[in-house]
Amino acid sequence: MAGNTEQHSRRVAVVTGAARGIGHATAARLLRRGWIVGAFDIESHGLAELKDIAAAHGTTVVTGTLDVRDAQQWREALASVCEDHLDLLVNNAGLLAAGPFVDTDLDRHRALVDVNVLGTINGAHTAFPYLKNADRPVLLNLGSASAIYGQPDLATYGATKFAVRGLTEALELEWAEHGIAVLDLWPLFVNTGMVKGVNIGAIQSFGVRLNETDVAAAAVAAVERSIRSRRNPKRPRNVHHAVGSQARFLAALSQVTPNWANRLLTERLTRRPGPGS
């Protein structure tokens, strides 16, 4: 993307799943903080209003459609935003399916894996040449507190978030030599369209206490902390960032309790609602 000297001094971000929910809120927050943003989604509805936010804050947004399962579309999207570097990739696009494992169609299981896992891999792989050319770049993956312990009624969704967790941990180590910080977020349930109509035991136990603005604020704060801190490979890093007091408590507890206790707690908190619930 061609730009003037002022634009070149600004940081450049790409956010997927930016038409609504967490992705939209994150793209909007970055624009309000002066970032140049590439905002992409499989559908374009919802992206247009980001242009008004960009104009109001004197910055630039590039919008377009992107199916994260398609590596070639990734290459084209990145080329439309990045000249030679990318400061931040937010791998946010994702799907959720809730309910008994065997009652969920196999095509839906596959869609979750393709979008949540393959889409994240595609993003990291195609963005790497741009990230490694930036000053203190960040890859931020949207994980979930479901990656703490597998949850009934969220089996495949949770499995995809375990995969994102493993990918994040591996790339954080592998890409340290390139100066790329790799992080993920672990929110619990967020009040977006993804959880509309979902009635499972975990939601009855925890409620839905976060909204997209809460998660976007946590995302940008984690990124900015990483940018401010010069990377020192000898110093331990916080790779996973739990969002909200509930997720922070569960994440901390899982580190000090034995596996059987984590299983028991998960079993009790995720019991399916009874008839009429």
Secondary structure string (H, E, C) spanning 18-80: CCCHHHHHHHHHHHHCCCEEEEEECCCCCCHHHHHHHHHCCCCEEEEECCCCCHHHHHHHHHH
Strands 61-65 and 88-91, by their bridges, are unpaired
Residues in the chain, pLDDT under 70:
1-9, 189, 191, 197, 199, 201, 203, 205, 207-208, 230-236, 273-277
Q: Are 71 and 48 in contact (CB under 8 A)?
A: no
Q: Quote the distance between the C-alpha of residue 192 and its chain's center.
A: 14
The pLDDT of residue 244 is 78
pTM for the whole structure:
0.89
pLDDT at 205 (0 to 100): 67
Q: How far apart are CA 34 and CA 191, in angstroms?
A: 27
Per-residue confidence (pLDDT) for residue 251, from 0 to 100: 86
Q: Which of 44, 53, 89 is nearest to 223 (CA)?
A: 89
SS3 category, 91? strand
Place of tokens 């939601």: 203
The predicted pLDDT at position 265 comes to: 82
Q: What is the pLDDT of residue 122?
A: 98
What are 268's two structure tokens? Answer: 């009790």
pLDDT value for 3: 41
Percent of the chain with pLDDT over 70: 87
